[in-house]
Structure 1
Amino acid sequence: MPHPPDSAELPPLCAAPRPSLKAPSFRLLPGACDTHAHVISADHIRYPFVADRSYTPAPAPEQAYLQMLHAMGMQRGVLVQPSIYGTDNRYMLEVLERHQACLRGVAVVDDQVSDAVLEHMHHCGVRGVRINVLFRGGVDLDLMERLAARVAEFGWHVQFLIDVRHLETLQARMARLPCPVVIDHLGHFPARLGVREPGFALLRRNVAERGWWVKLSGIYRLSDAPPDYADADALAQALIEAAPERMVWGSDWPHVALQSTPDTGALLNRLPLWAPGEHQRKQILVDNPAALYDFR
């Protein structure tokens, strides 16, 4: 009989999200949307984690997520399938189906997914698929073209969690995709490298010239300067300057794969530093998410 793996071999446990958050420091308009969060069930029997994963998260279930969204003053949200579930999107889909007016989703699928499953996902509110090369359990770049061809028929996008320092090697392939491209977490590279880092400069060009979208999210994953993460400010400002109509904001709640989690409200309160005008903040929080995620 096989023995269970040694505890030292188990994926590391993550800290839970903070039980409270700072209130918004600015006025949020109706329809404000958090475009990047995850839900994680406490029922590991019904919704098991994949064995080959990079971390083991604390529960972050549906009601906790909705409470966080309400505390931030937001009416809309986008759930992203976390890598710990692999291509088993059931929990996210069940949450989406219960809140179709205010929630949308980004799924993780492989190229064996059936049209019927994609149609069901679309009915639930899925509007994109994610390719994740930074955490085990995700779908990798080999499937980029095949997945894009499948989801383009539904009007979906492909969302990439990549380090943009490698963007030059992927540029030609990504530029040919038949659907919108969304880049996670400002390109997920060390903020200390600054706006002149070649991969980031290429990202800015794609945003300005090809209409790529960027999530202004996860700054604490790039930053060497907690708790304010001010070294990421210039990156966000440069992207907004390039194309404010292609920017969306995301909390990245419940902040997985960390031993200490940030204050979600404090992350939102960086936004007025990046976009001082209410018109730009309305674009980023209301208008752009409505367009990208098909909110009506």
Structure 2
Amino acid sequence: MPGPKDLDPSSSPRALLGAELRHAREKSGLSQEELGARLFVSGSFIGQLESGTRRMQPEYARLLDDVLGTEDFFRRNCGVSAKSSYPTHFAEAVEAESRAVSIKQYTPTLIPGLLQSSGYARALFRAYEPTAPKEKVDESVADRIARGRLLDHPTTPMLWTVLDEAALRRKVSSPQVMAEALRHIAALVRRHRIIMQVLPFSAGEVGSLVSGIKLMYFSDSAPFAYVEGVGMGHLTDDPPTVTRHELTFDLVRAGALSPRESLVLIESVAQDYEHGEPHP
């Protein structure tokens, strides 16, 4: 694994906490593994805190202050680094996503957040919270589109997505919204910015047809796997769990159309939406 990268403590509260944690740990003469053992976590977990990949939770801040003799520094400051416009169960995953050098994702029923157009995202948020004020929906849409700007960088992260055909065929809002959403994905493919495959209905029972999978890889820490449900999500770096999700992703990818065939299908379905309803 590459050595830890130097963080600019002024770049964010989390970078400051990470830099201070590394300084306090080294001052105490502890390795990441030794400090992790005292907190009943892995050495890689400590490395993720130091690199800013993982959010520092209050329970770990308290233990770090006790073990490292930093009085209440981490307790006082971890709340600032935890502020986010995203729900608690999703915030850490979004932050990890922003630091990843490579992301692999499969989604079974909907276009994933990083690839959504504004109209598509707005329809989903309105369906999820039908009584929410317009201002709240507007804010959620803005946050989602801001996430997608991660792909404005020409090469990083490398995003490999497998999209179930159901996500193409499920009409969200209107044919016009769906056409725009699929054209947006096709444009990213044609810019060679993402690798996209479609898992067709004809593939049958492959891999994971129940829940989505997101795998995130980093230059200086272990990979994460993230799975979510309604109002909940779980982010883990447990090696056996990550390995199991990697196998599942590989099985799904093996059953998918090639990238070239997938692009043809996406653009064909988009054209159908532009001229009416696509046939299932």
Q: Does TM, scored on the shorter chain, surpass 0.5? A: no
Greater share of helix: 2
Which of these two proteins has the greater Rg computed from alpha carbons?
A: 2
Task: Return the TM-score normalized by structure 2.
Answer: 0.27
Which fold has the larger relative contact order, with Cα–Cα distance below 8 Å and residues 6 or more apart in sequence? 1
| TM-score (norm: length of structure 1) | 0.26
